[in-house]
């Protein structure tokens, strides 16, 4: 192989790397998910917001139909977004319909409920302060606000859960927390639930719109 041919191959490889980096930045890191406002009103003089979420083992649409994802309920339909606008200095009530299976936590520290009103979550109506570390399918965790809520998944024998039919297998989890002043807070799932990625930590685990999101408090 001549020197010119070698230089041509190196040039092509360099261009491919540059294009790949450009696509990664523009299509992944800079992907913008529209913010969804939580429904809010004043109850007994307290600003109060409401979020209804769901988690699924495979979203079934978007450019990554097999990726695990969170969805939010807006105006009677499920919307693909993990960016939520919440009122500041408010009491936020969250309901999560868990349609995914149990994956388990690598760190049992995350199996303890933290940062919620009363230090509890309600799993199918039962108040709990922690869950078995083997049972979560996901977590809803906001490190900057000290919030961690493990979300127990459905049994493998019940999979797949179907959010189009609320009577099908799912676990209902509810909890409440208070927002402080205005700001943008990162939230994410800490269960390594990204099947097909190294240690379950890639893909949807690092992408806003799937297992990663923002709380815009205003």
Rounded mean pLDDT for each run of 10 residues along the chain, 218 residues in total: 62 53 45 67 86 94 94 94 96 96 94 98 98 97 97 83 74 97 96 92 95 96
Give the chain's count of helices (H) and strands (E).
1, 14
Alpha-carbon gap, residue 40 to 48, rounded angstroms: 5
Kindly give the residue spans of alpha helices, DSSP state H, lying in the chain: 3-24
Give the list of residues 6+ apart from residue 171 with CB closer than 8 angstroms, or none.
97, 98, 123, 124, 151, 152, 153, 154
- Report the pLDDT value the prediction gives residue 28, as an integer from 0 to 100: 46
CB atoms within 10 A of CB 159: 15
Q: What is the pLDDT of residue 10?
A: 59
Residue 21: its pLDDT value, please? 46
Q: pLDDT at position 27, please?
A: 46
- pTM for the model stands at 0.82
Nearest CA to 151 among 54, 65, 36, 49?
54
pLDDT at 32: 54
């Amino acid at each position: 192989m001549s020197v010119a041919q070698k230089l041509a191959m190196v040039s092509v490889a360099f261009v491919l790397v540059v294009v790949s980096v450009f696509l990664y930045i523009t299509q992944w890191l800079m992907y913008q998910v529209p913010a969804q406002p939580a429904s809010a009103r004043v109850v007994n003089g307290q600003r109060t917001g409401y979020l209804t979420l769901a988690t699924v083992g495979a979203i079934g649409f978007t450019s990554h139909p097999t990726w695990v994802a969170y969805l939010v309920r807006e105006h009677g339909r499920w919307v693909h977004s993990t960016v939520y606008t919440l009122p500041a200095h408010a009491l936020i009530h969250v309901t999560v319909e868990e349609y995914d299976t149990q994956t388990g936590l690598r760190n049992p520290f995350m199996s303890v409920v933290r940062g919620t009103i009363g230090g509890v979550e309600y799993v199918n109506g039962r108040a709990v302060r922690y869950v078995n570390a083997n049972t979560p399918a996901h977590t809803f965790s906001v490190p900057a606000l000290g919030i961690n809520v493990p979300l127990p998944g459905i049994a493998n024998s019940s999979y797949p859960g179907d959010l189009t039919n609320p009577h099908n297998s799912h676990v209902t989890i509810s909890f409440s927390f208070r927002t402080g002043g205005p700001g943008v807070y990162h939230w994410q799932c800490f269960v390594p639930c990204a099947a097909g990625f190294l240690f379950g930590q890639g893909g949807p685990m690092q992408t806003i719109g799937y297992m990663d999101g923002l709380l815009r408090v205003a």
